[in-house]
């Protein structure tokens, strides 16, 4: 076993038995490289990454390749999910050098950590040749190598940040919709061609903008395609084709948390059966497949099982007939479009339209699901990531209210308790934990922002001021430790480990950008407290949205969604009344069911509390009965006491 054996990262533990003398990221590796006067070989990946597994089997488990690595380099293995800051700076270098990126990422760097040659996946023969070539360059052309590294680092550090401006206006949002329409696929939904990733943040913006065509087409197509697990729920990472047919089978917590929230909002907007089915199935999948014994949510499921990508999820026509009988088997082959066109004659299941016989569908699905449960399961990455659990808390809490599922709210609360008990240390966030034990890596901006977003959503659903207070503390850290001085935020705190570049990226990727996520949470907190500091910081952080909206709106979806909320007020609703009074619960549920962009809800019993949000101050019962106050910027209309009257008030724009 090498130095990774004591890691809490499942990805690093996958490599603990390699013949490669791996080091975890840290000063020890840098010191060893300086002592031996050799370069660092930094390999970055994550546990559910298919091509990371391929390169591990081909090269890192191969004795001769390991010998070359150990002889000529100090080898460092990095879990990108534990260290997104390390991943970000070296991905910038990889993209600058190769004009593409991906994982596994392979970086050769000086003992100071300055990259001088980068790439992604290398097949073993070419990787061995590369190892020899880099060694020869280091020993024979050292000055040229060092110049190349210094030049690359200088270029990355002089990269001009996106210009910022004032809070975008409604014309900016209309321009963004026009830009999105230019790359919209009217046949299959989504944007651009293959591969297609679920555009969760863009869909959130489109739903808030009442843009039904692009959002509805995309959500329907994804729900019926192979990217969605038609038996067990949950979405795969992306589709390798433009029609959502063939997925890359890894399942990530962040995708499914974001998509659960989007499908919940889609149902809230139009009440369609597909939206309800997918939202509830996705929520059930999260609780069934991803909950850890401590109550958090695990990071990911692998793409591979039994040595093959997707083996757990695919079927042959003969398997369906054998399991279901001839008649139901042929019917399932037709309903799920099983043509046997994948490797080994298999197909992923799709549900291109709902069959008339819903009972037969339910029976077939149940039998296939039970049979699939007997297969060898994909591996699960057990670590709990603060940021992604924050996304899941928000999604589960909202879905629990919208679909009247208290168990989902309970799951959100339990995950929040784990974050508070394990991930919050000395007022600061730790990014990961495993088996209830906190990791060593400090939280980055997206951790603080998404956890605050989740806690504020949970507060709005439960009225429990514990979550409101904790969110406020995290957001104060964002303002004090992450601000860049010109309206934006760095991705790392001012006291974080110094890398060759301090990462800062306002654009969305697989998750909302930390900057836009922070803006959304700050805006919500300002709406609850009246804090000008938080509101102004939110508006300033949204200043880059205008630059992106004209030509790159796909990378600013969350920022656009937050801008929509900011321009609409946001609308604040204070619900006051005894918690055990059904009239209070009715008003509260009516507020949370409202399809109003960026709606902010505060819940109290009518008595002033020093721990609660200022939005509740001075808002009491009306005539001794529970009441709801609809406000903008703390200016409220006449309170109402019935759900019907509240619905009318919320419909007024």
Which CATH number characterizes residue 605's domain?
A: 3.40.30
Q: Are 441 and 585 found together in one domain?
A: no
Would you say residue 203 lies in a domain?
no
β-sheet bridge partners, residue 635: 632
Res 1: pLDDT: 84
Total Cβ atoms within 10 A of residue 147: 12
Q: How far apart, in whole angstroms, are the C-alpha atoms of residue 595 and residue 208?
A: 8
Q: Are 442 and 366 found together in one domain?
A: no
User: What contacts 43, CB < 8 A, 6 or more positions away?
Assistant: 60, 75, 76, 77, 78, 104, 105, 106, 107
Q: How far apart, in whole angstroms, are the C-alpha atoms of residue 57 and residue 283?
A: 34
Would you say residue 212 lies in a domain?
no
Q: Are 446 and 578 found together in one domain?
A: no
Q: Strand pairing of 428-429 and 424-425?
A: antiparallel
β-sheet bridge partners, residue 254: none
**Nearest 10 degrees: CA dihedral of 162, 167, 169, 171?**
0
Would you say residue 305 lies in a domain?
no
Would you say residue 194 lies in a domain?
no
Res 163: pLDDT: 76
Q: Are 538 and 601 found together in one domain?
A: no
As given in the structure block, the two tokens for residue 550 are 């004209």
Q: Are 275 and 419 found together in one domain?
A: yes
Domain boundary pick from 353, 372, 391: 372
Q: Are 136 and 11 found together in one domain?
A: yes
Q: How far apart, in whole angstroms, are the C-alpha atoms of residue 11 and residue 22?
A: 13
Q: How far apart, in whole angstroms, are the C-alpha atoms of residue 390 and residue 429?
A: 12
Half-sphere exposure of 413 (CA within 13 A, CB side): 15
Q: Strand pairing of 571-576 and 74-79?
A: unpaired
Total of domains in the chain: 4
User: Quick one: what percent of the chain has pLDDT higher than 70?
Assistant: 99
Give the CA distances from residue 282 to residues 60, 164, 381, in Å, rounded to whole numbers and listed in that order.
Answer: 36, 37, 18
Going by the DSSP 8-state scheme, the letter that residue 498 receives in this structure is P
Would you say residue 230 lies in a domain?
no
Q: Are 475 and 556 found together in one domain?
A: yes
Q: Are 442 and 552 found together in one domain?
A: yes
- What is the span of the domain harbouring residue 393? 170-183+264-298+380-567
Q: Which backbone phi and psi does 641 adopt, to 5 degrees?
A: -125, 0
Domain boundary pick from 567, 586, 610: 567
Half-sphere exposure of 161 (CA within 13 A, CB side): 20
**Nearest 10 degrees: CA dihedral of 608, 610, 614, 615?**
-40
Task: Report pTM.
Answer: 0.95
Q: Are 494 and 547 found together in one domain?
A: yes
Q: Are 466 and 365 found together in one domain?
A: no
Q: Nearest Cα to 579, choosing from 603, 610, 555, 547?
A: 603
Res 172: pLDDT: 94
- The stretches in the chain having pLDDT less than 50 are none
Residues 442, 387 contacting (CB under 8 angstroms):
no
Q: Are 352 and 389 found together in one domain?
A: no
Would you say residue 241 lies in a domain?
no
Burial of 464 (0-12, 13-18, 19+ CB in 10 A): middle
Would you say residue 634 lies in a domain?
yes
CATH (domain of 535): 1.50.10.10
Q: Are 386 and 452 found together in one domain?
A: yes
Would you say residue 306 lies in a domain?
no
Res 568: pLDDT: 86
E strand intervals along 120-269: 238-239, 247-248, 251-252
């Amino acid at each position: 076993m090498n130095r990774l054996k004591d890691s809490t990262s499942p990805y690093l533990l996958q490599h603990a038995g390699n013949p490669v003398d791996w080091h975890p990221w840290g000063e020890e590796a840098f010191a060893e490289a300086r002592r031996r006067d050799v370069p660092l070989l930094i390999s970055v990946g994550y546990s559910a990454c298919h091509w990371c597994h391929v390169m591990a089997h081909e090269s890192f488990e191969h004795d001769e390749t390991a010998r070359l690595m150990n002889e000529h380099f100090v080898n460092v293995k990095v879990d990108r999910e534990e260290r997104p800051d390390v991943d970000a700076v070296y991905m910038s270098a990889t993209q600058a050098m190769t004009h593409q990126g991906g994982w596994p990422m392979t970086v050769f760097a000086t003992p100071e950590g300055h990259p001088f040659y980068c790439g992604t996946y290398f097949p073993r023969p070419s990787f061995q040749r590369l190892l020899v070539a880099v060694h020869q360059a280091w020993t024979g052309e050292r000055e040229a190598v060092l110049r190349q590294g210094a030049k690359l680092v200088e270029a990355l550090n002089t990269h001009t940040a996106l210009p910022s401006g004032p809070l975008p206006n409604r014309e900016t949002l209309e321009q963004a919709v026009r830009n999105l329409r230019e790359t919209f696929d009217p046949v299959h939904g989504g944007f651009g061609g293959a591969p297609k990733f679920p555009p969760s943040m863009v869909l959130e913006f489109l739903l808030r903008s009442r843009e039904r065509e692009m959002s509805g087409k995309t959500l329907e197509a994804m729900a019926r395609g192979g990217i969605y697990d038609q038996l067990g729920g949950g979405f795969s990472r992306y589709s390798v084709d433009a029609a959502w047919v063939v997925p890359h089978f890894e399942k990530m917590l962040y995708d499914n948390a974001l998509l659960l929230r989007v499908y919940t909002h889609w149902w809230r907007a139009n009440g369609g059966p597909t939206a309800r089915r997918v939202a509830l199935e996705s929520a059930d999948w999260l609780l069934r497949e991803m909950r850890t014994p401590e109550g958090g949510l695990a990071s990911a499921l692998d793409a591979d099982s039994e040595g093959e990508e997707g083996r757990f999820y695919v079927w042959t026509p003969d398997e369906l007939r054998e399991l279901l009988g001839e008649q139901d088997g042929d019917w399932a082959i037709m309903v799920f479009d099983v043509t046997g066109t994948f490797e080994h004659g298999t197909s992923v299941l799709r549900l291109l339209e709902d069959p008339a016989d819903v009972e037969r569908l339910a029976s077939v699905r149940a039998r296939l699901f039970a049979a699939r449960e007997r297969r060898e399961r994909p591996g699960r990455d057990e670590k709990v990531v603060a940021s992604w659990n924050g996304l899941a808390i928000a999604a589960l809490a909202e879905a629990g209210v919208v679909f009247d599922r208290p168990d989902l709210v309970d799951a959100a609360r339990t995950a929040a308790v784990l974050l508070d008990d394990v991930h919050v240390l000395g007022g600061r966030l730790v990014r990961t934990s495993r088996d209830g034990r906190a990791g060593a890596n400090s939280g980055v901006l997206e951790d603080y922002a998404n956890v605050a977003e989740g806690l504020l959503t949970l507060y709005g659903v439960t009225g429990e001021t514990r979550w409101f207070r904790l969110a406020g503390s995290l957001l104060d850290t964002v303002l004090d430790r992450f601000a860049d001085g010109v309206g934006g935020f760095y991705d790392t705190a001012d006291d974080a480990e110094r890398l060759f570049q301090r990462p800062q990226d306002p654009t969305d990727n697989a998750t909302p950008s930390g900057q836009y996520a922070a803006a959304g949470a700050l805006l919500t907190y300002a709406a609850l407290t009246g804090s000008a500091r938080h509101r102004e910081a939110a508006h300033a952080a949204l200043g880059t949205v205008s630059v992106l909206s004209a030509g790159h709106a796909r990378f600013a979806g969350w920022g656009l969604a937050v801008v929509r909320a900011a321009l609409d007020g946001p609308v604040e609703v204070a619900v006051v009344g005894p918690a055990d009074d059904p009239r209070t619960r009715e008003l509260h549920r009516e507020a949370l069911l409202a399809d109003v962009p960026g709606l902010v809800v505060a819940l109290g019993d009518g008595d002033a509390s020093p721990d609660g949000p200022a939005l509740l101050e001075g808002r009491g019962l009306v005539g001794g009965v529970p009441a709801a106050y609809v406000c903008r910027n703390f200016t409220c209309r006449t309170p109402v006491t019935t759900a019907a009257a509240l619905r009318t008030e919320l419909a007024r724009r």
